[in-house]
A and B are shown apart, each in its own frame.
Chain A
Amino acid sequence: MSVASVSSSGEEMLLNMGPQHPSTHGVLRFILRTDGEVISAVEPDIGFLHRSIEKIAEIVTFEQFMPYTDRVDYLAAMNANHAWARAVEEIAHIEVPRRAQVIRVITDELNRIISHLLGGVGALAMDLGAVTPFLHAIRERETVNDIIESLCGARLTYNYVRIGGVWYDLPRNFADRTLEFLDHFEPALDEFDRLAGQNKIFKERLAGVGVVSAKDAIAHGLVGPNLRASGVKYDLRRNMPYSIYPELEFDIPVGQGILGTVGDCYDRYWVRIQEMRESVKILRQAFKMLPDDKTIKAKLPSVLKPPAGEIYVAVEAPRGEMGWYLVTNGGPKAHRGRVRTGSYAAMSAIRFISRGLMIADLVACIAAFDTIAPEVDR
């Protein structure tokens, strides 16, 4: 990475943050030009976690690629699985059984909760110096990990969704266990919010920091909670509905500028907290919609060969729109797959937002945008 774009002069100093730094959430590097504590330019240097997932998509078949999608976003592997499955189903015209649809929504929302807990609000609190809320978030996440482990045997990279359905049916007691967790989780989330979000210092640290207007958010391609925090009410689950989302009742929280400015870091925190509450609502409804029909996977040809063409299909992942631009050539493998992730856009936007912030604010900003390195580099 050339440092030409951030060369320093006079009083200013170049500061190399990362690739090994406690708050870069993975292996990321920032080259900062600072004057004392104030940052005048940021150049993110990405690619340390580049695993060529898009290249791999070209050399394995559609079904074989599923485990790799886990690694695109390992905090929300279910949603990443779902994105890939949906892209292939859409172009190959595969009808997914209803039970699988409902299960996908259940796993998606569980995954959304734990992703927000760890990446969205827990790590944010920790980067602000409050370790306790982070560990409380981890405590809740462990329970969901246990639940998902009982479903697919994995705790991080699930590889659970299949093209045309899901891998296994829900295990016994799954619904009871999850609902028991939800009953426990709602007050626990309130407690978390009291401990972190209602804290005076926490609010002061985030209020008015890293403000992104709705116009800028669209222009920089921010998606998901980051976009909604800026006041744009857009959620793929509602606006371009897929799976059983049209039948579910839930709100889409939008940043309200609780601490003065719409689109600051506190709004991002707040939107994520509200989204977890909405996810709980969705889960409660989804369990009621589970059909008795036990079919969980559509009948597929032994070799899946979608027609040649191209398509862009996206789902709402915890870090926003996760979409695949899929180019097929009529064969069993994708000709080209390109994944669009939320962290990538947020990371590229951080350059513009962080001018004039302090080092401590940049750390808060990275965490509040919920950027994780594997999604940026893929």
Chain B
Amino acid sequence: MTSDEIIARLTQKFGAEKIQRVKPEGVPQPVAIVAADTLRAAVKYLQEDPELDCGYLATICASDFLPEEKKTKSADGQEKIEKIPGRMEVAYHFGSYAKNHRVNLKVVIPSRENPTVPSIYSLNPAADWFEREQFDLLGIQFDGHPDLRRLLMPEDWQGYPMRKDYQQAPEWRGIPTSRENSHDLFLKRLAAEEAEEAAEEKLS
């Protein structure tokens, strides 16, 4: 089955208001946007339907979209400013080995404050670390995950590094998180050397 056919079956099952097919122009793969409350049911259906059989979860990818202002020119030459609110998206890539097909699912979370998505850990154990990592790096709350802890970053790390507006704290447990740029260091050394030479010339 192609991705389109899988998405069509999902739409058929859950209705067009819950599953929405998106395929931007020029992009080869379609994406099914799933309503958050249908996600678990949709994944369950994907995995258990013998014709879909998508037991393989390739990855979970959350992405952060800051609020932005889009300037568009309407036909009469008037500038229109469209405000797009910030959002978070969590994408799932499912596949089947037996049927050899793949499908992209996506959940759109309208707010960037405390984003929450139902966890699919109980449906697919591979989701465990994927969800923990997305929680760790982007702060997505996976509702129903039994052990949602940081995975890659230290336990007491502040903030979510993969968010677009992430500001790194200057230090963590007394360890500075950044160091001087090597180019700056080089310029500093040059300046110091020049000053030294100048001093030597003065002496001689």
Which A residues form the contact surface with B (CB < 8 A)? 1-2, 5, 46-47, 50, 52, 54-55, 90-91, 93, 218-221, 227, 232, 234, 239-240, 306-312, 314, 321, 323, 325, 327, 335-336, 338, 340, 344-345, 347-348, 352, 377
With a cutoff of 8 Å between Cβ atoms, the chain B residues found around residue A312 in the complex are 29, 58-59, 93, 102, 104
Query: Closest residue of chain B to A1, judged by CB?
Result: B155
**What chain B residues lie within 8 Å of A221 (beta carbons)?**
56-58, 126
* A307, A338, A340, A345: residue with the most chain B Cβ atoms closer than 10 Å: A338
14 A-B residue pairs with CB within 8 Å: A47-B153, A54-B162, A90-B28, A218-B97, A221-B56, A221-B126, A307-B25, A309-B27, A311-B27, A323-B58, A327-B91, A335-B65, A340-B93, A344-B129
Q: Is the interface of A mostly helix, strand, loop or mixed?
A: mixed
For chain B, what secondary structure do more than half of its interface residues adopt (helix, strand, loop), or is it mixed? loop
B123 to chain A, nearest CB (A): 10
Residues of A with C-beta under 8 A to B152: 46-47, 50, 377
**Which residues on B sit within 8 Å (CB–CB) of A306?**
26
Q: Is B145 an interface residue (CB 8 A)?
A: no
Residues of B within 8 A of A234 (CB): 97, 100
**CB neighbours of B155 from chain A (8 A):** 1-2
CB atoms of B93 and A323 under 8 A apart: yes
Bound complex: CA A239 to CA B128 (Å): 27
- Do B128 and A348 have beta carbons less than 8 Å apart? yes
Give bound CA distance, A323 to B57, whole Å: 12
Contact A348 B27 (CB under 8 A): no
Provide the residues of chain A in CB contact with B161, threshold 8 Å: 52, 55
For B153, the chain A residues whose CB sits under 8 A away are 47, 50
B139 within 8 A of A: no
**Chain B residue at minimum C-beta to C-beta distance from A311:** B29
How far in angstroms is the closest Cβ of chain B from A59? 10
Residues of B in contact (CB 8 Å), total: 40
A314 to B137, CA, bound (A): 23
User: Which of B31, B55, B91, B137 has a CB less than 8 Å from the CB of A218?
Assistant: B55
Q: Which of B28, B58, B104, B151 contacts A314 (CB 8 A)?
A: B58
Do residues A309 and B24 form an inter-chain contact, with CB atoms below 8 A? yes
**By CB atoms of chain A within 10 A, which of B24, B126, B153 has the most?**
B126
Say which residue of B28, B61, B124, B129 sits within 8 Å of A325 (CB atoms): B61
Chain B nearest CB: distance from A46 CB in Å?
6
Q: At the interface, yes or no: B11 with Cβ under 8 Å from chain A?
A: no
A239 touches B125 (CB 8 A): no
B63 interfacial contact with A, CB 8 Å = yes
A50-B152, A377-B152 given; A307·B61 CB < 8 A: no
4 shortest A-B CB distances, which residue pairs? A309-B27, A221-B126, A307-B26, A47-B152
Complex interface bits, B30-60 against A, C-beta within 8 A gives 1, otherwise 0: 0100000000000000000000000111110
Q: Say if the beta carbon of B5 comes within 8 Å of chain A.
A: no
In the complex, which residues of chain A have a beta carbon less than 8 angstroms from the beta carbon of B93? Answer: 312, 323, 325, 340
Please measure, in the bound complex, the distance between the C-alpha atom of A345 and the C-alpha atom of B65, giving whole angstroms.
27
Would you list which residues of chain B between 51 and 91 have a CB under 8 Å from chain A?
Answer: 55-59, 61, 63-65, 89, 91
